[in-house]
Amino acid sequence: MSALFDHHVHSDRSDGTVSLQGRAKSVAIRPHGISDHYPWKDKLRNENDVRRYLEDATSLGLRVGIEYDLGVAPPLSAATREALHYVIGAIHQVQIDGKWVHYDDAGAFVKGRTKSFKERERFSDPELQRRILARTLEVVAEGIERDRIDILGHPTFSALQALGDPERIYPEEWQERLIALCVEGGIAIEINESYGVPHREFLVRAARAGALFSVGTDTHFELKPLDKTEAMIAAADLRRDHFLAGARLEPGRQSGRRSILGK
């Protein structure tokens, strides 16, 4: 059985702890690319920084993507986007009524770095939940239409994930709408090792809808096994030939990609 390609690996060009040179060596362990955060503080501030990162990484033989911060990152030129092997779009916060709703505390809890979720009461409010879910769909649609992302990173990660059962938190109708955006937009749904998302029922629905998938450990440290990911793939009985392998789909195979904003 061939090893699945890990698209979502960070280096010290954003918040990772391993250099590009170190990542170039670890491809011998199993196939992977890199996809550092954009934007990221004083390291990946603008498009010129992205181009330098791309040149440095490709000179080492790496497959190069970015983790494009949906709703935050400025648009990339078509030339820069096409020069990357793939673009992962991911949501880490959403803006509601002009104020940012951040997911940092929830992420720390989901990853086991904290023992409790201090904002549980706040995010248990049904109206806030409704608005987060609605805004998520809007941001993803814009990422597909305007930013031309290739992969939706950690698709069902949000502050709501920290509340428990995803089948209760994420209504089936909302899940179907998110899946439809990806399928109709011709982008892959990431199975994320770090956050353990999406859950089995979501993956089954996505496969039934004809979705493509990608693998992402989302590691910031040394490369580790894909144990959780392999278990998630097996539990949902996903076909391994429906996974990306280190590059975006060729233009001719993106026939399903069409205008989805305003639908």
Give CA–CA dist 161/158, Å, rounded: 5
How many CB atoms neighbour CB 102 within 10 A? 13
Domain presence at residue 133 = yes
What pLDDT score does 29 carry? 94
Could you tell me which residues come within 8 angstroms of residue 200 by beta carbon, excluding any fewer than 6 positions away? 232, 235, 236
Q: Is residue 158 part of a domain?
A: yes
CATH number at residue 99: 3.20.20.140
Q: Each residue of 52-111: pLDDT tens digit?
A: 999 999 999 999 999 999 999 999 999 999 999 999 999 999 999 999 999 999 999 999
Render 162-178 in DSSP notation, one character per residue.
GGS-HHHHS-HHHHHHH
Strand, coil or helix: what is 43?
coil
pLDDT value at 256 more than 70:
no
Give domain status of residue 41, yes or no.
Answer: yes
Q: How far apart are CA 69 and CA 22, in angstroms?
A: 24
Number of domains in the chain: 1
Which tokens hold the place of 25?
């060596």
Q: At what angle do helices 227-236 and 200-208 cross, to 10 degrees?
A: 50
In-domain check, residue 96? yes
For 105-153, write each residue's pLDDT tens digit: 999 999 999 999 999 999 999 999 999 999 999 999 999 999 999 999 9
| Residue 210: band (very low, low, confident or very high) from pLDDT cuts 50, 70, 90 | very high
Question: In this structure, is residue 197 part of a structural domain?
Answer: yes
pLDDT of residue 255: 46
- Alpha-carbon distance 191 to 236, whole Å? 11
- pLDDT score, position 2: 73
Range of the domain at 139: 20-249
Rounded to whole angstroms, the Cα distance separating 247 from 77 reads 18
d(CA 53, CA 49): 6
Domain-embedded: residue 109: yes
Instruction: Report yes or no on 263 lying in a domain.
Output: no
Tell me whether residue 3 is in a domain.
no
Q: Which residues contact 262 (CB under 8 A, 6 or more apart)?
A: none
According to DSSP, the residues that pair with 35 across neighbouring strands are 65
